[in-house]
Structure 1
Amino acid sequence: MTIGLFSDIHSNLPALEAFFEDLDKRDVDTIYCLGDLVGYNVWPNEIIGHIRQRKIPTIAGNYDFGIGRNSNECGCAYKTKEDKANGAISISLTNELISDKNRKYLRQLPAHIRIDLQLNDSPQNLLLVHGSPRKINEYLFEDRAEKSLLRIMEDADADILCFGHTHQPYHRILNSGTEENPHYRHAINLGSIGKPKDGDPRGCYVVLQMDETFTVKDKDSIKVNFHRFEYDVEKAAKAVEDSRLPNVYAQNLRNGK
């Protein structure tokens, strides 16, 4: 089984189109989107249109949750007053641009998707969330204490936990068993399609590969492949600059921040 996973598009149409072009070259069995379709750029309706046209199973990101309810809050952890003020402009513009039909679509997105894998006689659980299993806007950064991350995964009964929200890709393998009788769990942050924050402006997504040999006792029996792709960053940045959105969002796209 091969699964394509992506997240955090944030109304970046050139990035989404390039992502589909890149993904379509790969042999994947199914695709899932982990939310935050909208915000920070000018194409929320076009993004949702592509997702709906392809009938991609999608969960709500924190931004989708807010816009779906016509809220002026997105659940974002802005660090400064300037960031918060800029964020308010983005939320306001997105609420103006979104169609009634697409607002309803966002409002109806599920909070998570759980997939019970039956590849062999030892079932495994794949859990797809936006922030964390506990909260839609909880940030699970790569440096989170192992004990804390492991507890979150155990409480959620997740052998494989895939998420986004931080826009910073990583894969951590944790053992909730013993050295003699291991139970390996995989925490996978997909990065971001349309708003990377790891210093690389290219979009990022993940392809998981598993077959009938997959087992929680072998940490290498699942392949986690991170794929970066080029897209027309200048087109996305220029769209920001031609709108009332803060120009800093254009520079962030160019710098991958």
Structure 2
Amino acid sequence: MKHAIISDIHGNLEALESVLSEIARRKVDSVLCLGDVVGYGPNPNECVALIMEKAEVILAGNHDYAPLGKIDLSYFNPWARSAIEWTRAELNESSIEFLLDLPLKIEIDGFTIVHSTPFRPADWNYIITIGDAVKNFPEFRSRVCFIGHSHVPMIVSLSEEEDCRVVKENPLKIKTGVRYIINVGSVGQPRDLNPLASFGIYDVRKNEYELCRVEYDVAKTQQKIKETSLPDFLAERLELGQ
């Protein structure tokens, strides 16, 4: 099967629509969402409704749980807290009911998906360094684990000889005897200094993964944010990819 794997939409409807359009063009078999459908962006309910329609599997991210009171807001920085409080007031009953029951981690078609980390996903820790990855490889059984959360695309491999390294290859051939943790980046708020929306496509039959980037109407999303009480920085950062 061929899976599109998306994460960290963050209420950015323009980015989500552009990504879904590209996914449709790629003719995948399923769409898997790793969470953070809402938070930061101006269209939480619209993004929830669209992802409910288009995705076969949807996981919870910290920004999905936080507006529902399932995470202490002291965990978040001031911009994030402000966005969570705004999102909480905006969510309709359908969105709330949907977000309440999202799972944290699953295995599907021979690989693992989780928003944050395979180890204790509800702690909302990050995999940013090789050291972080080394601690998490023992926490899943499959060859490949897909994550989001940091908004930065990244691939870390672990060989049978315990050689752990960052991999830059794209597309990536999934090699026999090697395990991988793959961050698919962010649809709605990339932070790798590239403002293009990010997602991944994993072809299980071909053992191949590709990181994909697509343009979207950043200015339109920025204008929507500025028309709300959300912090202006959340609009400004979109064109910078940070």
Band of TM-score, shorter chain: 0.7 to 0.9
182-191 vs 9-18, greater mean Cα deviation: 182-191
Identity %: 29
Q: Is the 8 A contact 2:30 2:55 kept in 1?
A: no
Q: Is the 8 A contact 1:66 1:75 kept in 2?
A: no
Q: Is the 8 A contact 2:67 2:85 kept in 1?
A: no
Q: State which of 200, 206, 218 in structure 2 corresponds to 1:233.
A: 218
Q: Is the 8 A contact 1:11 1:42 kept in 2?
A: yes
Residue 44 of structure 1: aligned partner = 44
Q: Is the 8 A contact 1:62 1:74 kept in 2?
A: no
Q: Deviations over 1:62-118 (max 9, x none)?
A: 110112347662844x3xxxxx2x22221111000001221121010011121253x
Residue 167 of structure 2: aligned partner = none
Q: Is the 8 A contact 2:31 2:55 kept in 1?
A: no
Residue 98 of structure 2: aligned partner = 105
The structure with the largest helix share of the pair is: 2
Q: 1:74 to 1:174 in 2, by over 3 A?
A: farther
Q: State which of 130, 145, 148 in structure 2 corresponds to 1:144.
A: 130
| Deviation for aligned residue 1:156 | 2.1
Q: Is the 8 A contact 2:32 2:55 kept in 1?
A: no
Q: Is the 8 A contact 1:150 1:176 kept in 2?
A: no
Q: 1:71 to 1:166 in 2, by over 3 A?
A: closer
Larger radius of gyration: 1
Question: Which ranges of structure 2 fall in alignment gaps of 5 or more residues?
Answer: 164-175
Residue 114 of structure 1: aligned partner = 107
199-208 vs 51-60, greater mean Cα deviation: 51-60
Q: 1:104 to 1:75 in 2, by over 3 A?
A: farther
- Say what the alpha-carbon RMSD is for the aligned residues: 2.0
Residue 4 of structure 1: aligned partner = 4
Find the aligned partners of 1:74 and 1:39 in 2 and give their Cα distance. Answer: 15
Q: State which of 185, 194, 197 in structure 2 corresponds to 1:203.
A: 197
Q: Is the 8 A contact 2:31 2:54 kept in 1?
A: no
Instruction: Letter of the 2:83 partner, please give it.
Output: S
| Deviation for aligned residue 1:14 | 0.5
| Deviation for aligned residue 1:25 | 0.4
| Deviation for aligned residue 1:162 | 0.3
Residue 13 of structure 1: aligned partner = 13
Q: Is the 8 A contact 1:67 1:106 kept in 2?
A: no
| Deviation for aligned residue 1:247 | 0.7
Find the aligned partners of 1:201 and 1:195 in 2 and give their Cα distance. Answer: 8
Find the aligned partners of 2:134 and 2:81 in 1 and give their Cα distance. Answer: 35
Q: Is the 8 A contact 1:68 1:105 kept in 2?
A: no
Q: Is the 8 A contact 1:177 1:184 kept in 2?
A: no
Question: Which ranges of structure 1 fall in alignment gaps of 5 or more residues?
Answer: 79-83, 118-125, 212-220
Q: How many residues align?
A: 228
- What TM-score comes out, normalization by structure 2 length? 0.88
